[in-house]
Amino acid sequence: MNIITATALPPFTLNLWQDLQVMLSYDFMRQALLAGTLLSIVAGLVGYFVVLRHQAFAGESLSDVAFTGALGGAALGINPFLSLMVTTVVVALAMGGFGERLRGRDVAIGTVLSWVLGLGVFFLSLFTAHVSGTGTGFSGVTVLFGNILGVSADQLRTIALVSGGVILALLLLVRPLLFASLDPDVAAAHGVPVRALGLGFMVLLAITVSEATLAVGALLVFALLLLPAAIAYQMSSRPFVALGLAAILAVVFTWIGMAIGFYTGYPSSICISLLAFVCYVAVIGGSGSIVKIAGKRTRPFAHESIV
């Protein structure tokens, strides 16, 4: 794995073009930027629907389920990606089975979340004590916080294929899914399969979380899912404009965060998450003076701040 150590960091200059050329001269950075771009686009698009459907808590739960699934596979000798994919999809289908009632099931979701986290810690202890032989818990930290600079060529191909599939599915479902998300009762009255769309979206959310966890970590998955979409939701009242804005913001946060991590030696996932959080706080704090992209706000649905 080609990772630059803190003692071999290239110097940062004010010549941004030169700094970019230096960063792109490393194979692992080119792979990481490409993987990060694909993951960010998918996370931004899916994340907008997470915000629109008020399912942020469900998204957080799935990121923790992915953490547990990956460690469970590692502890039991199963392919970690396969185990976390199956686990997150099964849990997502179970959540989606509640349909629109999921919005009022915070206590139930919180109970499942605490149990899943406890199970993840159990699998981590099994892995560090009986499988890895080190007892350091480093693999668990990697799954949780990610190592996007260590994305392999095989992982990049998998990310490209899965991301392409998710984007294609969203393009096919975007209009009825928006209708069902904005006003499910009216959508159902017009013959839109609201329940089936809800299940399908939960599967897409689970796949998005799964493909990103091993590369960027469960923490970064949730940050990329929620924060760019929440900012876009605040800045535009037009769903399609907000969708594009969420994807663009996710990509920008990823690129800048990875550049900061490259030149400082800090974990890129933490840099991306912190950057997105600071921008969200700035948008919320200055929402009264920000010029809205779509002009005056005329939302057909109640506006809520995402926290």
> Is residue 97 assigned to a domain?
yes
DSSP state of 104: G
The whole-number average pLDDT for the span 41-50 is 93
Asked if the structure places residue 9 within a domain, the reply is: no
In this prediction, residue 296 carries a pLDDT of: 47
Q: Which two tokens stand for residue 279?
A: 């921008």
Mean pLDDT of 173-181: 92
Query: Could you give the residue ranges of the DSSP H alpha helices within the chain?
Result: 16-24, 27-52, 56-76, 80-96, 106-126, 138-145, 153-182, 184-189, 194-235, 239-264, 268-285
pTM (2 decimals)? 0.80
CA distances, 196 to each of 180, 202, 255 (Å):
10, 10, 35
Q: Residue 80: pLDDT above 90?
A: no
Section 275-281 average pLDDT: 91
Sign of the CA dihedral with 265 first, then 269, 274, and 275 last: positive
> Integer distance in angstroms from the first to the last C-alpha of the chain?
37
Residue 27 lies inside a defined structural domain of this protein = no
Share of the chain above pLDDT 70, in %: 79
Rounded to the nearest integer, the mean pLDDT of the chain is 79
Q: Residue 152's pLDDT is what?
A: 81
Cα 58 to Cα 11, 141, 163, 225, distances in angstroms:
42, 22, 21, 11
The least confident of 59-73, 238-252, 274-288 is 59-73
Over residues 93-118, mean pLDDT? 66
Which tops the pLDDT comparison, 256 or 298?
Answer: 256
CATH number reported for the structural domain that contains residue 168 in this entry: 1.10.3470.10
pLDDT, mean of residues 105-115: 66
Residue 93's nearest CA partner among 213, 209, 19, 201 is 201
Cα 122 to Cα 46: distance, rounded to the nearest angstrom: 30
Distance CA 20, CA 91 (A): 41
What pLDDT sits at residue 115? 76
- Determine, yes or no, domain membership for 14: no
Two structure tokens written together for 95: 């959540």
Q: Is residue 231 predicted with pLDDT exceeding 70?
A: yes
Structural domain includes residue 44: yes
- Find the range with the poorest average confidence among 61-65, 126-130, 134-138, 202-206: 134-138
Domain interval for residue 274: 33-285
Predicted pLDDT at 73:
78
**The pLDDT of residue 291:** 45
Which comes out higher in pLDDT, residue 103 or 242? 242
Q: How confident is the model at residue 2 (pLDDT cuts 50, 70, 90)?
A: very low
Q: How far apart are CA 82 and CA 91, in angstroms?
A: 14
pLDDT digits (tens, 9 = 90+) for 9-39: 677 777 778 878 888 888 888 998 999 999 9
Q: Look at residue 91 and tell me if it is in a domain.
A: yes
Domain count within the chain: 1
Per-residue pLDDT at 203: 92
* CA atoms of 218 and 203, how far apart (whole Å): 17
Residues sharing a CB contact under 8 Å with residue 67, sequence separation 6 or more, in sequence order: 117, 120, 143, 144, 213, 218
Which tokens is 40 given? 């960010």
DSSP letter at 11 equals P
Structure tokens at 42: 């998918």
Name the residue with tokens 């998204």.
59
Q: Are 36 and 273 in contact (CB under 8 A)?
A: no
Task: For residue 171, tell me if it sits in a domain.
Answer: yes
Q: For residue 275, is it within any domain?
A: yes
Which residue type, as a one-letter code, is found at position 3? Answer: I
The three-class DSSP label of residue 301 is coil
Instruction: Give per-residue pLDDT as tens, 121-168.
Output: 777 777 776 655 444 444 555 666 667 877 888 888 888 999 999 999
Whole-angstrom Cα Rg for the chain: 20
Statement: residue 303 has pLDDT above 50: no
Percent of the chain with pLDDT over 90: 24
Query: For 60-67, what is the mean pLDDT?
Result: 80
Residue 217 has pLDDT above 60, yes or no: yes
**Average pLDDT rounded to a whole number, residues 280-285:** 87
DSSP designation for 101: G
pLDDT at 232 over 90: yes
| The two three-digit tokens of residue 130, written as one number | 């009986």
Alpha-carbon dihedral 220, 225, 226, 231, rounded to 10 degrees: 110
pLDDT of the residue at 34: 92
Q: How many CA atoms lie within 13 A of 84 on its CB side?
A: 31
Contact criterion met (CB below 8 Å) for 221 and 212: yes
